[in-house]
């Protein structure tokens, strides 16, 4: 990933989406640019036009926290976008040794985490890395994500499934939102880890093979997975709506635990019980086989 290009395109895209009226600036005459002009952003941020132009050209070397905050306010960035800009600045100011290309993060999941997964018997759960590779899962998690494991990607990867498997729009009832969020989350990871070769390869593959991914990637929107509700159309139990929790694993860089839950007494809880029964059946045991990651 080209850090300067990322900075330039992110700042330009954020500037283009803000109208003068939204920024409280009178608009006079014809405007040749979408959104605010550079000089208007500079005035709102309290910096010179020359200095802001330098930033928007991709040079964040030596930029102060106060200037980043001022630019964030001028561009009306939300919390996720502010964090993304700070990550881009952090990469720009990193030492050459830190900027060296990263090797893929280890895929090992600690035994204690695997034991935790195994103990979550009525909660579909899995561990994934920052590239959306599923590294470990419990039986109910594998049963819920059976279409993803059946897709044949090695390792199973939710981003590849979303954009490269024809079953994804059916499996995810809110495919459009899930897909956009996946693009935004990968954009955040690219800002944090621009020299992760495996991450760059994944993004390049998706951009090459999916027109929709390529369009949304060009929008430079960012997203952080938080607690959300997801709706699935499962091939065995039908429609089910589950609350998702995304929990970073302390001490395990770039690994998170994703767990789904249903409200007590709800139809979703009944669906999970049915899914657990199916997973324990001969047919289910074949799908949730012992060589799970």
Model confidence pLDDT, tens digit, residues 160-210: 999 999 999 999 999 999 999 999 999 999 998 888 899 999 999 999 999
Tokens representing residue 164 in the block: 């490269």
- Residue 292: the pLDDT is 44
Tokens representing residue 179 in the block: 């897909």
What domains can you pick out in the chain, each with its CATH number? 3-92 (1.10.260), 111-287 (3.30.450.180)
What secondary structure does DSSP assign to 129-179, as a single string? ETT-BEEEE-HHHHHHTHHHHTT--SS-BHHHHHHH-TTHHHHBTTHHHHH
Tokens representing residue 243 in the block: 């609350």
The C-alpha atoms of residue 59 and residue 46 are separated, in whole angstroms, by 18
CB atoms inside a 10 Å sphere around CB 127: 26
- Residue 265: the pLDDT is 94
Residue with tokens 């290009």: 5
The C-alpha atoms of residue 265 and residue 256 are separated, in whole angstroms, by 28
pLDDT digit string (tens) for the chain, length 293 residues: 568 999 999 999 999 999 888 888 887 767 777 789 999 999 999 999 999 999 999 999 999 999 999 999 999 999 999 999 999 999 888 765 555 555 555 568 999 999 999 999 899 999 999 999 999 999 999 999 999 999 989 899 999 999 999 999 999 999 999 999 999 999 999 998 888 899 999 999 999 999 999 999 999 999 998 778 999 999 999 999 999 999 999 877 789 999 999 999 999 999 999 999 998 887 765 655 533 44
To 5 degrees, how large is the angle CA 51–CA 54–CA 55? Answer: 90
- Residue 31: the pLDDT is 77
| pTM attached to this predicted model | 0.88
**CB 79, CB 86: distance < 8 Å:** no
- Residue 234: the pLDDT is 95
The C-alpha atoms of residue 166 and residue 134 are separated, in whole angstroms, by 20
- Residue 33: the pLDDT is 75
- Residue 252: the pLDDT is 72
């Amino acid at each position: 990933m080209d850090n300067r290009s990322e900075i330039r395109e992110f700042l330009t895209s954020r500037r283009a989406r803000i109208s003068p009226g939204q920024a409280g600036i009178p608009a006079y005459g014809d405007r040749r640019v979408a959104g605010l002009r550079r000089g208007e952003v500079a005035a709102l941020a309290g910096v010179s036009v020359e200095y802001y132009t330098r930033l928007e050209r991709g040079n964040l070397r030596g930029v102060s926290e106060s200037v980043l905050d001022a630019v964030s306010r001028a561009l009306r960035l939300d919390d996720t976008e502010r964090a993304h800009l700070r990550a881009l600045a952090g990469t720009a100011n990193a030492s050459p040794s830190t900027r060296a290309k990263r090797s893929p993060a280890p895929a090992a999941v600690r035994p204690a985490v695997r034991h935790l997964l195994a103990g979550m018997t009525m909660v579909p759960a899995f561990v994934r890395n920052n590239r959306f590779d599923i590294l470990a899962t419990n039986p109910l998690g594998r049963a819920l994500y059976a279409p993803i494991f059946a897709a044949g990607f090695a390792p199973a990867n939710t981003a590849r499934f979303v954009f490269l498997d024809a079953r994804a729009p059916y499996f995810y009832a809110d495919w459009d939102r899930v897909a956009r969020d996946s693009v935004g989350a990968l954009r955040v990871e690219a800002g944090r880890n621009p020299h992760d070769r495996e991450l760059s390869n994944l993004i390049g593959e998706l951009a090459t093979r999916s027109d929709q991914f390529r369009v949304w990637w060009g929008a430079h929107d960012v997203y952080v997975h938080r607690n959300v509700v997801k709706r699935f159309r499962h091939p065995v139990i039908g429609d089910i709506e589950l609350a998702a929790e995304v929990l970073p694993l302390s001490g395990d860089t770039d690994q998170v635990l994703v767990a789904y839950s249903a409200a007590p007494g709800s139809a979703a809880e009944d669906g999970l019980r049915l899914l657990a029964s199916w997973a324990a059946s001969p047919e289910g045991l074949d799908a949730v086989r012992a060589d799970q990651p």
